[in-house]
């Protein structure tokens, strides 16, 4: 009987496996990437940061493998449940965390890998992760968009920050392909650079479309339920990765741009700074809204809490890169503060997730969050 009970529990966990689990891979990976960059550029902390980055890289890899197994098993054994989740406007976009997690792991291999293994292993690992992750990202963004566009029953209240995940996955692609250009032929370098800008365009334009929808939803309707509050900060992901990718693409494509490389680098830096400025505003606006949520009580736990990690880390990395490019110390200090906040948030979310996993809370069937009985509009 014990064996039957155990088997039934495994089947239940697989059937209810949340499509957003790979957000944990994204959040953990960005911690490792941020630590490897040595925020603040303090020599005394370099060794500690690198060692911590190695540890977090191993944790990221373990999470990726550990989550991929049940994820793929669910696709094979419970396709009906998977299809139902894809059609759900709250859950469907979360499937993009899988390719996004693949791509973040590829970026991790390029940035932290040299601290752990030889350059050949780093290149091969990044190459194969990109080979799988890039097409999967394109396909998943199409699938998520198809189900949203083909649904005739999606209410405005269903618009939420998780819709930013397919766009941000596309914008991560240039960060994956950039390091591969150093080992490519001139023809392949041009192809990789063109692909990078194409995916950047896909992600940024999709981000703008979703942002306009979310803005209207927040202004014209009551605030989302508290369970969706963390999703509001996801907008920092496309902003941070988009700004960072612009700077990195200009550097990676210098050989292709030739004598125009300095002009491209300057234009990219200016555009990235403008995008980063919007991120500052969104961070402040989200913080104000979050205070309002917390005034009504603590946020209910859900895997959506991982939204507090990757977007903050991505925006922190963009802040770090721009601070060093502009040589403005205050911006560099802000990046240190953001990375410190990321570590605190990651620790909080990780501990709560471990507890929820152990108690079974994390295996509860996923579904649309229930709004409060009488949701009140924003006071004017």
Query: Where are the domains positioned within the chain?
Result: 8-362
pLDDT at 177 over 80: yes
Most confident of 114-118, 294-298, 316-320: 316-320
pLDDT band at residue 171 under the 50/70/90 scheme: very high
Tokens of 265: 């680098």
- Start-to-end CA span in the chain (Å): 60
Over pLDDT 90: what percentage of the chain? Answer: 83
Return d(Cα 307, Cα 366) in angstroms, integer.
Answer: 16
Long-range contacts of 357-364 (CB under 8 A, 24+ apart): 361/301, 362/18, 362/303, 363/12, 363/13, 363/16, 363/17, 364/16
pLDDT digits (tens, 9 = 90+) for 247-258: 999 999 999 999
Return d(Cα 199, Cα 192) in angstroms, integer.
Answer: 11
pLDDT at residue 2 in the model:
45
Return d(Cα 152, Cα 232) in angstroms, integer.
Answer: 24
pLDDT at residue 376 in the model:
40
Could you tell me the fold of the domain covering 8-362? Glycosyltransferase (1.50.10)
pLDDT at residue 98 in the model:
96
User: Do 294 and 303 contact (CB within 8 A), yes or no?
Assistant: no
User: Do 368 and 88 contact (CB within 8 A), yes or no?
Assistant: yes
Q: Mean pLDDT, to the nearest integer, of 286-298? A: 94
pLDDT digits (tens, 9 = 90+) for 22-64: 999 999 999 999 999 999 888 888 999 999 999 999 999 999 9
pLDDT digits (tens, 9 = 90+) for 122-152: 999 999 999 999 999 999 999 999 998 888 7
Q: Mean pLDDT, to the nearest integer, of 63-79? A: 93
Q: Please report which helix (H) or strand (E) contains residue 264, including its range.
A: helix 261-295
pLDDT at 372 over 60: no
- Beta-carbon-side half-sphere exposure of residue 157 (alpha carbons within 13 Å): 12
- Beta-carbon-side half-sphere exposure of residue 362 (alpha carbons within 13 Å): 21
């Amino acid at each position: 009987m014990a064996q039957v009970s155990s088997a039934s529990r495994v089947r239940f966990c697989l059937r209810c496996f949340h499509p957003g689990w790979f957000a944990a891979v994204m959040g953990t990976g960005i911690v490792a990437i941020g630590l490897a960059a040595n925020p603040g550029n303090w020599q005394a902390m370099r060794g500690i940061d690198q060692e911590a980055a190695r540890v977090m890289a191993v944790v990221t890899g373990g999470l990726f493998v550990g989550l991929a197994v049940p994820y793929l098993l669910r696709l094979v054994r419970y396709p009906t449940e998977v299809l139902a989740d894809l059609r759900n406007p709250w859950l469907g976009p979360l499937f993009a965390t899988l390719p996004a997690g693949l791509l973040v792991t590829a970026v991790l291999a390029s940035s932290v890998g040299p601290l752990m293994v030889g350059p050949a292993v780093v290149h091969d690992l990044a190459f194969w992760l990109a080979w799988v992750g890039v097409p999967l990202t394109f396909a998943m963004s199409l699938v998520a968009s198809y189900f949203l566009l083909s649904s005739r029953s999606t209410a405005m209240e269903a618009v939420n920050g998780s819709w930013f995940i397919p766009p941000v996955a596309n914008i991560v692609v240039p960060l994956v392909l950039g390091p591969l250009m150093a080992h490519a032929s001139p023809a392949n370098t041009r192809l990789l650079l063109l692909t990078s800008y194409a995916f950047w365009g896909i992600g940024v334009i999709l981000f703008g479309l979703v942002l306009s929808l979310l803005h209207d939803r927040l202004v014209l309707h009551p605030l989302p339920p508290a369970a969706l509050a963390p999703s509001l900060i996801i907008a920092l992901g496309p902003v941070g990765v988009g700004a960072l990718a612009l700077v990195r693409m200009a550097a990676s494509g210098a050989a292709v741009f030739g004598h125009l490389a300095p002009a491209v680098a300057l234009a990219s830096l200016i555009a990235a700074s403008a995008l980063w400025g919007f991120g500052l505003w969104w961070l402040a606006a989200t913080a104000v809204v979050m205070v309002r949520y917390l005034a009504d009580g603590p946020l209910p736990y859900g895997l959506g809490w991982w939204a507090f990690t990757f977007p903050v880390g991505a925006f922190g990395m963009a802040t770090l890169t721009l601070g060093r490019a502009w040589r403005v110390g205050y911006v560099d200090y802000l990046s240190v503060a953001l990375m410190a906040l990321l570590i605190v948030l990651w620790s909080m979310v990780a501990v709560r997730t471990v507890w929820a996993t152990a108690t079974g809370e994390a295996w509860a069937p996923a579904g649309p969050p229930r709004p409060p009985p009488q949701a009140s509009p924003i006071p004017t």
